[in-house]
Structure 1
Amino acid sequence: MILNNLYATFDWAGRRVDPTPLQEPHLLLVNHALAESLGMALSDRQWCDLTSGSRLLPGMEPFAQVYAGHQFGGFSPRLGDGRALLLGEVVAPDGRRWDLHLKGAGKTPYSRFGDGRAVLRSSLREYLASEALHHLGIPTTRALCLVGSREPVYREQVEPGAAVLRAAQSHLRFGHFEYFYYSGEAEHIPALLDYLIQTQWPELSQDQAGYAALFERVVQRTAELIARWQAVGFCHGVMNTDNMSMLGLTLDYGPYGFLDAYDPGHICNHSDHGGRYAYDQQPAVGLWNLQRLAQALSGVIELESLQQALGQYEHRLMSTYSELMRQKLGLEAWEEEDPALFRDMFTLMAAQRVDYSCWFRRLALLAPAGPVPESLLALLSDAGAWTGWFGRYQARLAREGRDHGDKVAQMNAVNPKYVLRNHLAQQAIERAGQGDMGEADRLLMVLAQPFDEQPEFDDYAAPAPDWAGQICVSCSS
């Protein structure tokens, strides 16, 4: 069932806008599994018409949202859906409500000087990444459909236009609340919070106590999300407050990247000249962004409650991350010396630029006693420097006394063999630009089972080739 989104009933929260249809659209990808879970049984023609903006479904009333945001530390007072539209809500068979959000829908009142369009390159990157993170168990918006077009779109060069339809239980951002706070319209903030409570957490009261509990959940979810990013080696690239989800979802994929060679200061966004959003800065930026949200909510939540919630961030992030790392190293119990074991491992990994995903996957093969597997040694430029660490780790495994086979299975269940490396995404994008979606289809199939052995796709699990370091990904991506 398609409904007008409840958010769109707030005429002060944006503008009713119809999409501008793409020229000569063609269907590229449909997420049939997600569509089925949402109860959306559409033909290919209907998916193409909907995602290209040519024809809406009954009940849809597209709405462009207005919001603000701190971008690279500086406040931008009016951003909004410059190239996207909230089409409506779908009520899934399980009763949950999902936003349908069309990206690349054309100009809106918030487009500023933009054309309101998206290109195939960035749209396919978002489709691939959101599905990759979903199957890794990381909260994210989901990609539902992708269409291409012969319509030319101008970025650094002329590129083919595209649009992606994405779904999430809410697309509300920190920036929504910042907009109304800083624009002098803070009287609207309680309505936004009531909307979130009504649609997401109906057990909360729609008053100051409920708002405080809601903010606490946002803090906790954000901490857990970033801990999961760090554990899997994911870099978002543009953690502006307008790209931060109130539900703790990974939102707005641009110059993201998974770590290849381990580098704690890795910057995946070539537009991020100061490294504000480097991999090792993501936890601190998450807290900074939450502090900006707290400021925007300070008129409806007591300062003490805001401070108490913010005070939980570091503990929740570190406890989640520590638990994930314990699992990644195949440890059941916790010992006092484990943090030092982890730190020393990362120091060695950084010094030798060890491939992040391959390291943890192959580490599972190391038994409590015996030689280090050759596949693990192959990742190291100086295996001798690791002798002491391997000994400590093997002794640690021996103290637990677990069955080696059980340990291998447990580690393989949390350490993905396949992640969306930049060069894999780039290859799929280049093929798609030539009219061949076969590589994207294969990649999506592999990434749907990231923890499983898929011998026929072992090339997708290999360390990145040297040329991958030359791929330039910026905010326009």
Structure 2
Amino acid sequence: MPEIRVTSAFDRPALDASPLDSANLNDTVSTDLHLNPPLVLKVQNRFAGLSEVFYSRQPPAPLSDPWLVHANEDAGRLIGLDRDAMHSQAFLDVFSGRAPLPGGDPLAAVYSGHQFGVWAGQLGDGRALLLGEAVGPEEAYELQLKGSGRTPYSRGADGRAVLRSSIREYLASEAMHALGIPTTRALAIVASDDRIRRETMETAAIVTRMAPSFVRFGSFEHWASRKQPERVRELADFVIANYYPECLTPPDGEAEVPNGVYLRWLGAVVRRTAEMVADWQLVGFCHGVMNTDNMSILGLTIDYGPYGFMDGFNAHHICNHSDSSGRYAWDAQPSIAHWNLYALGSALMSLLDNEEAALRSQLDQFEEIFLRRLYQQAALKLGLLEWRAEDSALLNSLWSLMHNARADFTQSFRRLAKVRIDDNAVDADGETFRDLFIDRDAADAWLETYRARLRLEARPDAERAAAMNRVNPIYVLRNHLAELAIRGAQQRDTGPLEALLNALRDPYTERPGLEQYASLPPDWASDISVSCSS
């Protein structure tokens, strides 16, 4: 298996040029609101302060006879909501689309993008509405309904989401957050018996998503493709002022350079994206649809569709059965992220006086940043105190060992903590690393190399094991676990959903009674298929 690098078989998009212009930032509008007690929020609408060409205003289409599937109290606290508020009728009414969010300004944003490497033209929020921006104790979060009906960007679709996909997004948001990976969050799921057609007839749901911003790479591509550099600049200035204020001035001791604000900002987006994807790789996460319209300008994992955490490791794993070419396979994700950043860079050329060299200087930092993050985190996962250049061979041989055996990704790393430095000692009690491999000789050969590396640091076994268990999860969102939660919710039994969330919220601590969430998947799990249909 080849080493994980950023070199790619996919040609990067060209860096196009377009003329310059300017636009002023819009002022923030802030409003205090009080829904029916005890629901109290403070709402502002910064995105709505952009020129109206960036969005279309409209109310949501409510669900019929909605019921609350789940309210995420951890996320609610971020915007000042308590348990009573989140189980109130007012909460259900607002987040099922039946009542407006007082002080809100519902709108659907327009954007474009490359889908599977092909320019798709205008896209946009085809089934999502931004209600407003709730100001929490520490940060403001945009509240977005997903599945709230048709918008001007629905392209003939019904604008709805099904309960199945809504639960998958809800679970993934919480699982990724608990793993420490930047992500959107989910506030609630509301469901209905309304019937909608996908591959089969399913029931409708709305998931409320939270993020500081839902602006995407494709948001900039849209205006660049229309040769409206003034809109590119307006959106860039908005994003920088509100989410990247550190880019407004050069670092201490450095002189300002031409277009320095935009160069620093692009460099920051490159860094956040590279580090996010490195984190994906090290938990075996596959996004499935890394189109440029699904890439967050804030470096968040966004738009959970056909995603998956790998069970048996396959470096070429494709989690989306709609991805016939394997463009978004696990081992392709770093290169695709870099490709997408080049597409973003092309859209930003007008901000940089068409200075391609300056732009490339930022984009081409990706590989170094990605590998630095990958190796820093891999050192922790392997129980190493520091990463040495020769350790890349150790990691790559581990990938090959796991790939050839289709060894379980999560358990392979978790069980490494049980390995003793003394090769004459018996591994710790219970299941061992080598039990995951049919070719025990190959596993033993790798373990011999691994133990030799550990001896160079002479770290006590117990200390190393404890440190490894803090970074190697025991509970991840396996497809079959999500499927069981979905089946329960479809029968209005949310017990499996709540129990799974309980496990996922603390993925690193082994707890009695949660063995089913750490076990290898059952045989029937291999029949689960996820696609772009939701």
Instruction: Using the TM superposition, give the Cα deviation of residue 7 of structure 1 relative to its aligned residue in structure 2, in angstroms.
Output: 1.4
Instruction: Using the TM superposition, give the Cα deviation of residue 93 of structure 1 relative to its aligned residue in structure 2, in angstroms.
Output: 1.2
Whole-Å separation in 2 of the counterparts to 1:243 and 1:67: 10
2:273 to 222, 241, 254: 222
Whole-Å separation in 2 of the counterparts to 1:203 and 1:386: 47
Whole-Å separation in 2 of the counterparts to 1:428 and 1:203: 42
Whole-Å separation in 1 of the counterparts to 2:259 and 2:53: 22
Instruction: Using the TM superposition, give the Cα deviation of residue 56 of structure 1 relative to its aligned residue in structure 2, in angstroms.
Output: 1.9
Quote the residue 2:247 is aligned against: 204
Quote the residue 2:469 is aligned against: 412
1:150 is paired with a residue whose SS is: strand
Whole-Å separation in 2 of the counterparts to 1:213 and 1:343: 33
1:33 to 69, 74, 81: 74
Whole-Å separation in 2 of the counterparts to 1:47 and 1:424: 28
- Counterpart contact for 1:2–1:57, Cα < 8 Å: no
Instruction: Using the TM superposition, give the Cα deviation of residue 303 of structure 1 relative to its aligned residue in structure 2, in angstroms.
Output: 2.1
Please list the CA deviations of residues 127-171 of structure 1 after superposition, one character each: whole Å capped at 9, or x if unmatched: 000100000000000000110101111111111100000111110
Structure 2 gap segments, 5+ residues each? 1-40, 250-257
Whole-Å separation in 1 of the counterparts to 2:387 and 2:230: 48
Quote the residue 1:273 is aligned against: 324
1:323 to 361, 376, 395: 376
Please list the CA deviations of residues 393-431 of structure 1 after superposition, one character each: whole Å capped at 9, or x if unmatched: 111112211111110110000000000000100111111
- Counterpart contact for 2:44–2:135, Cα < 8 Å: no
How is 1:381-396 mapped onto 2 (pairs within 5 angstroms)?
381-396=438-453
Quote the residue 2:31 is aligned against: none
**Aligned residues between the structures:** 476
Quote the residue 1:333 is aligned against: 386
Whole-Å separation in 2 of the counterparts to 1:175 and 1:15: 17
Q: Identity rate of aligned residues, in percent?
A: 47
Please list the CA deviations of residues 324-379 of structure 1 after superposition, one character each: whole Å capped at 9, or x if unmatched: 11110000023332111111111111111110100110110101012345532321
Please list the CA deviations of residues 296-340 of structure 1 after superposition, one character each: whole Å capped at 9, or x if unmatched: 000112323211111110000001001111110000023332111
TM-score, length-normalised on structure 2? 0.87
2:73 counterpart letter in structure 1: H
Whole-Å separation in 1 of the counterparts to 2:110 and 2:125: 6
2:365 to 312, 335, 338: 312
Quote the residue 1:177 is aligned against: 220
2:452 counterpart letter in structure 1: A
Quote the residue 1:121 is aligned against: 164
User: Which moved further from structure 2: 329-338 or 371-380?
Assistant: 371-380
- Counterpart contact for 1:67–1:176, Cα < 8 Å: yes
Higher relative contact order structure (alpha carbons within 8 Å, sequence separation ≥ 6): 2
**Residue 346 in structure 1 maps to residue 399 in structure 2:** yes
How is 1:370-381 mapped onto 2 (pairs within 5 angstroms)?
370-373=425-428, 374-381=431-438
Whole-Å separation in 2 of the counterparts to 1:411 and 1:251: 28
Quote the residue 2:196 is aligned against: 153
Whole-Å separation in 1 of the counterparts to 2:432 and 2:393: 25
CA RMSD after TM alignment: 1.3
Whole-Å separation in 1 of the counterparts to 2:142 and 2:232: 20
Aligned CA distance change for structure 1 residues 429 and 43 (closer, same or farther; 3 Å)? closer
Quote the residue 1:186 is aligned against: 229
1:454 to 485, 503, 511: 511
2:417 to 364, 385, 404: 364
- Counterpart contact for 1:77–1:183, Cα < 8 Å: no
Quote the residue 1:231 is aligned against: 282
Please list the CA deviations of residues 39-63 of structure 1 after superposition, one character each: whole Å capped at 9, or x if unmatched: 1342421221111101122110101
- Counterpart contact for 2:375–2:387, Cα < 8 Å: no
Structure 1 gap segments, 5+ residues each? none
**Residue 293 in structure 1 maps to residue 344 in structure 2:** yes
Instruction: Using the TM superposition, give the Cα deviation of residue 15 of structure 1 relative to its aligned residue in structure 2, in angstroms.
Output: 0.5
Quote the residue 1:440 is aligned against: 497
Whole-Å separation in 1 of the counterparts to 2:367 and 2:144: 32
